Amino acid sequence: MLLNFTFAAIVLLISTVTCVPWVPEPRNDPNWLAQHQSYVQTTINSNGTIRAIFLGASITDWWPDDLFLRHFSTYGAVNYGISGDGVEHAFWRIQNGEVDGLQDSLKLIVFADCGSNSAGSYNAEEISRGYTATLNWIRQALPNTRVLLIGLMPRDNNFTDRWIRLTDVNIRISKWQDQANPGTSPVRYLDLWTHFSREWGVVEPNLFLDDQLHLTREGYEKWVDVINPLFREMMGV
């Protein structure tokens, strides 16, 4: 009953907001809401012991459980990815319970692949504006939490317009890192593009499924190799 009531309220909310990446927005999908609520419950049940959150869309959501457990859960990390999310949806989720009560324990948010979904509807300036709004909110709500901002991966071979748009987003959001003092920067940027593309317009085939978007297990193992040094540094482990 509560779920139905909440979902109805969200549907009403969606009808009154402008759909842009810099305005937090829920999705009109009861399964999405249920997954979000499960994350809120995980946060509540943690009693403030969560030390890192992976926030993202399907590439985050689909981490192989054993890899995530071995490399990240060991250090108090949880996976809060939801397939299909754009920047505005992840923004809404963290404003609505997923980080409540974690001001003292949460050392790191790993903000990953949401911008890739937004790229189907918005230009690079609009997407980066969404990242800016989300990061500004995190800095205000969680001043002791750092952000590891993951650059968008290549996708869709020979889709020139999308490759240009995604690289443009990466250039814009990479400026969040303090280049003069990266070690103490509250936001660090990690480029994945060069690790996952073979050449311009072609993804590294053994790292991607046939859809040229989602990762194979080898792709996730590559992501572990690339992210681990910076993740461990920012976690202080």
State how beta strands 52-56 and 146-150 pair.
unpaired
Q: Would you say the pTM of this structure is higher than 0.85?
A: yes
Pair of tokens at residue 44: 């509540």
Is the pLDDT score of 161 beyond 70? yes
pLDDT of amino acid 224: 98
The mean of the pLDDT values for the chain is: 92
pLDDT of amino acid 108: 98
pLDDT of amino acid 180: 86
Q: What is the mean predicted confidence (pLDDT) over 176-203?
A: 93
pLDDT of amino acid 18: 61
For residues 67 and 73, what is the distance between their CA atoms, to the nearest angstrom?
9
Taken in order of first residue, the domains within the chain and their CATH numbers are 2-235 (3.40.50.1110)
- Tell me the three state secondary structure of residue 229: helix
Band of the pLDDT at 13, cuts 50, 70, 90? very low
For 126-151, write each residue's pLDDT tens digit: 999 999 999 999 999 999 999 999 99
Q: What are phi and psi of 167, to 5 degrees?
A: -65, -35
For 75-106, write each residue's pLDDT tens digit: 999 999 999 999 999 999 999 999 999 999 99
Count each helix (H run) and each strand (E run) in the chain, helices first.
10, 7
Measuring CA to CA, which residue among 110, 112, 213 is closest to residue 159? 213
Instruction: Name which residue leads in pLDDT, 18 or 71.
Output: 71
- Tell me the three state secondary structure of residue 97: helix
